[in-house]
Amino acid sequence: MSIPSNREANVLNTEKILSGLPDDLKMLVQRQAPLRNRTTLQIGGPASLLCEARNTEQARRFQEIAHHHELPFFILGGGSNLLAADEGFAGLVLLVATDEFTTSGNTLIAGAGLDFDQLIQRSLAAGLSGLEFASGIPGTLGGAVMGNAGCYGHELCEFLLEAITLSPDGLVQRRGPEEFGFGYRSTALRESGEILLQVTLKLQLGGIDEALATRNEKILDRRSKHPNNLPSAGSWFRNLPAPAPGQHRVAAGSLLEKVGAKKMFEGDARVFSGHANMIVNTGEATSAQVKILARRMKKAVADKYQVDLIQEVRHLEVVNPELPQ
């Protein structure tokens, strides 16, 4: 009798798991779903199970399945801040796809799975301004809140009134902003594995003409700075803390530029010529190549400036504690 390889074992396993699912859940599951199609860098092998949760109950049931079968688990939004492994993800990827949208007065209630830029457009169309500064940030509303996304001096944490989350132990809870533990491009809730399902934001009624003008300006600015035609995952490293209170953060890109990062590449993974803190996939880049390139960028800055850059982009991979990382 032949011993199945890890990958074969994984396929057999998912077949068994799927056969035990009721039809209403089965239709929301894709097997061996290529992660390159789910990440803006367009890199990544297959997820054994990609499960689309359109409401809280579905998210809870998929989470339960992962627990029951002891599967590695990953929460996916728009995949715009992720490097997915070439080997794929031998586990259950939960795609948050909650998409409700309502407004009342100056508040907006929306599913965390909504496309973030579409949410901005819809909020403006509903007469609510405030989010226009973030126009053009890719990904979902949930990813933006859980990563405290920001730009041009503002962050998502300024707008959060309330949220509905599902905790790793299966508890659905209403959360106030103080429970998120907001930091620079981070939240404590993301680190503890909470699934964000619904968000209530406090915006402003009116001011739409001005907001639309700001939106157009920000989109044009992004187009002039970002790799519009090449897959990327946004800024690779976080900006550095401000040197003194009241000052701006130091852009990681400025240090990377000074160490010549714009000329660095590994295979088809390259530092974007227009922005030294962005890695682009110029063809068939692999996650292994991207990791080598990112390490080289980090080392060049550490060697010259003794600064330890912290990665902003997250890894979508099964971490094996027995292997050196």
Ligand X SMILES: Cc1cc2nc3c(=O)[nH]c(=O)nc-3n(C[C@H](O)[C@H](O)[C@H](O)COP(=O)(O)OP(=O)(O)OC[C@H]3O[C@@H](n4cnc5c(N)ncnc54)[C@H](O)[C@@H]3O)c2cc1C
Chain residues that interact with ligand X, rule: CB under 6 A: 40, 75-82, 96, 112, 137-140, 142-144, 146-147, 149-151, 185, 190, 195-196, 226, 232-234, 314
185 catalytic per annotation:
yes
- Residue among 185, 222, 238, 314 flagged as catalytic: 185
Minimal CA–CA distance to 96: which of 44, 141, 66? 141
Q: How far is the CB of 316 from ligand X (least distance, A)?
A: 8
Q: How far is the CB of 18 from ligand X (least distance, A)?
A: 23
Which residues make Cβ contacts (< 8 Å) with residue 57, sequence separation at least 6? none
Cα–Cα distance measured from residue 117 to residue 58, given in angstroms and rounded to the nearest whole number: 25
Q: Hey, CA dihedral for 108, 111, 116, 117, is it positive or negative? A: negative
Question: CB of 193 within 8 A of CB of 72?
Answer: no
Minimal CA–CA distance to 46: which of 57, 35, 56, 54? 35
- Residue among 235, 266, 270, 317 flagged as catalytic: 235
Q: How far is the CB of 197 from ligand X (least distance, A)?
A: 7
Q: Give the Cβ contact number of residue 244 at 10 Å.
A: 6
Cα–Cα distance measured from residue 108 to residue 130, given in angstroms and rounded to the nearest whole number: 11
CB-nearer residue toward ligand X: 102 or 192: 192
235 catalytic per annotation:
yes
CB-nearer residue toward ligand X: 9 or 37: 37
- Residue among 132, 155, 194, 312 flagged as catalytic: 312
Q: How far is the CB of 222 from ligand X (least distance, A)?
A: 7
Cα–Cα distance measured from residue 85 to residue 74, given in angstroms and rounded to the nearest whole number: 13
Q: Is 106 helix (H, G, I), strand (E, B) or coil?
A: coil
Q: Is 147 helix (H, G, I), strand (E, B) or coil?
A: coil
Cα–Cα distance measured from residue 188 to residue 182, given in angstroms and rounded to the nearest whole number: 7
Q: How far is the CB of 324 from ligand X (least distance, A)?
A: 22
CB-nearer residue toward ligand X: 11 or 186: 186
List the catalytic residues: 185, 235, 312
